[in-house]
Amino acid sequence: DGGITQSPKYLFRKEGQNVTLSCEQNLNHDAMYWYRQDPGQGLRLIYYSQIVNDFQKGDIAEGYSVSREKKESFPLTVTSAQKNPTAFYLCASSPPGYNYEQYFGPGTRLTVT
């Protein structure tokens, strides 16, 4: 089955720890994205990557880092520098030339205490 997987579904961390969220896709999509969603709010773009070994900052990249070593994988690290990391994180991918047609993963809910 083709799709996007994110793991884990729920993640709990202590303040001051870095945490890495996984995102994998087997849709052969070039572009991948990370969004953050806070209660009652829309999606805000953290980072995106159009091709392997290249990525760009989105609107709220501070306190986050990413890597794109493989086409299938786009992990997001929430660093201790992120002041308010508790949120719902969504990963998405899109086929070449169709960046609007984003396929979303099921999301990871991160809680930092």
Residues of this chain that bind another protein (CB under 8 A): 31, 33, 35, 40-45, 48, 50, 56, 58-59, 90, 97, 99-102, 104-107
Residue whose CB is less far from another protein, 100 or 113? 100
Q: For residues 8 and 17, which CB has a smaller minimum distance to another protein in the complex?
A: 8
Task: Give the C-alpha separation, 113 to 15, whole Å.
Answer: 6
Sign, Cα dihedral of 97, 101, 106, 109: positive
Minimum CB distance to another protein, residue 48 (Å): 7
d(CA 66, CA 39): 24
Nearest approach in angstroms of CB 3 to another protein is 10
Provide the edge-to-edge strand list for the sheet that holds 76-78.
Answer: 4-7, 19-25, 76-78, 64-66
Q: Is 45 or 52 the residue whose CB approaches another protein more closely?
A: 45
- Nearest distance, CB of residue 58 and another protein, angstroms: 7
Smallest separation (angstroms) from another protein to the CB of 85 = 19
d(CA 35, CA 33): 7
